[in-house]
Amino acid sequence: MEQTTLESIQFNEEIQGIMAPASETANSFTALLELPPTQVVELLHSPEITGKPPKPYPLTCDTGNLTFPSNTTARFSVLAGENKNSPEVKDEVPETEGGGCVSDPTIENKKSKGAKRKEREKKVKVSSKKIKSIGDENSGNGGDELPYVHVRVRRGQATDSHSLAERARREKINARMKLLQELVPGCNKISGTALVLDKIINHVQSLQHEVEILSMKLAAVNPIIDSNLESILATEGLSLMDSNFPATVAPVVWPETPHNGNRQQFQIPWQSDAFHQPLWGRGENNPNFMTPENSLLSYDSSANSVSLHSNQMKMEQ
């Protein structure tokens, strides 16, 4: 208990020290007392909870009345319990002296606005230096944790700040590479960065070539881009201004076509004058209203499989 009160007093002193330039009142511990309890709660909240954006905290006090010194200790322990960094903080505090304790909340206060990885790495640098000065117990243990950073220092690996930063950076890159591996088909089983990169490069190249080829095709297919496009889109009832059509516009019943006879039946309504009807009929099968772009996009590349169901399924992706 005495230890916690000591810590609380130290923290309060730090907070008050930080508070002093902000507030215009006296520099003493009683400055905190002058504040209404809610603001004190806020102050106690903000330096400890790092990594959260600085929202305006709702001014709700959990307990009704805050009688000052006793409840702050209780509040501090509660806050420390809430904060995920707290076990590390508590570990840190008994190890280091009071001097070591001083800089932590100041650092944490500075980083309270959106603690990013780099800032955590800076903390690591600071704290790792301190730990080195005190004793090399951390590097000796296997699988121990450095405070403030979720980087595990394995046995025998350096606690050097540079290598830690490098390792963090490498892990970040590796995580992203995993995502890439999932995106590019056929990359999952390959291990080794170079080969994976090879595949990625091939994929990007092939996609770019396809874009070229398709644009060539489009240019060849449409003698005049504009009029054809307009006619295509006009059949879909599309005007570019309003892309959303209400569902009530689609009244027409399109007879449900069986899978086999689809193609011919598909072609015939194309030739009919009521172009828009079949398309909207298709849209009627879809419970949600179908934007014209959806209908366009549903003319999938597999023109052979012309079953309406499969087209709609792909549209609903």
Partner 1 sequence: MRNLSSLKKEFLRKWIKGLRKYNSQKKNMNLLERKKAIKLSADLAMASTKDKTTLWRKALFANTSTKIDDEQDMSTTSSTPQKKVIRKNSTNSYPLRKRITGRRKILRRNHTKERVEASFIAMRLVKKRTRKLKSLLPGGKFMDDSCLVDETLDYIESLKAQVEVMRCLVTSSELFINQP
Smallest gap from Cβ 229 to partner 1, in A, equals: 6
Identify which of residues 84 and 150 has a Cβ nearer to partner 1 in the complex. Answer: 150
Q: Shortest approach of partner 1 to residue 124 CB, angstroms?
A: 18
- Smallest distance from partner 1 to CB 110, Å: 24
**Residue 137 or 210 with smaller CB distance to partner 1:** 210
Binding-site ranges for partner 1 (CB under 8 A): 169, 172-173, 176-177, 179-180, 183-184, 192-194, 197-198, 200-201, 203-205, 207-208, 210-212, 214-222, 224-226, 228-229, 231-233, 235, 240, 243, 267, 270-271, 291, 293-294, 296-301, 303, 315, 317
Q: How far is the CB of 49 from partner 1 (least distance, A)?
A: 27
Pick the closer one to partner 1 by CB: 158 or 234: 234
Shortest Cβ 218–partner 1 spacing (Å): 5
Q: What is the 3-state secondary structure (H, E, C) of the chain?
A: CHHHHHHHHHHHHHHHHHHHHHCCCCCCCHHHHHCCHHHHHHHHHHHHCCCCCCCCCCCCCCCCCCCHHHHHHHHHHHHHHHCCCHHHHHHHHHHCCHHHHHHHHHHHHHCCCCCCHHHHHHHHHHHHHHHHHHCCHHHHCCCEECCCCCCEECCCCCCCHHHHHHHHHHHHHHHHHHHHHHHCCCCCCCCCHHHHHHHHHHHHHHHHHHHHHHHHHHHHHCCCHHHHHHHHHHHCCCCCCCCCCCHHHCCCCCCCCCCCCHHHHHHHHHHCCCCHHHHHHHHHHCCCCCCHHHHHHCCCCCCCCCCHHHHHHHHCC
Shorter beta-carbon distance to partner 1: residue 26 or 211: 211
**Residue number, 108 or 121, with CB nearest to partner 1:** 121
The least CB distance from residue 277 to partner 1, in Å, is: 15
Backbone dihedral region of 299: left (phi > 0), alpha (psi from -120 to 50 degrees) or beta? Answer: beta
Which is closer to partner 1, CB of 132 or CB of 217? 217
Nearer to partner 1, 88 or 230 (CB): 230
Task: Report the nearest approach of partner 1 to the CB of residue 314 (Å).
Answer: 10
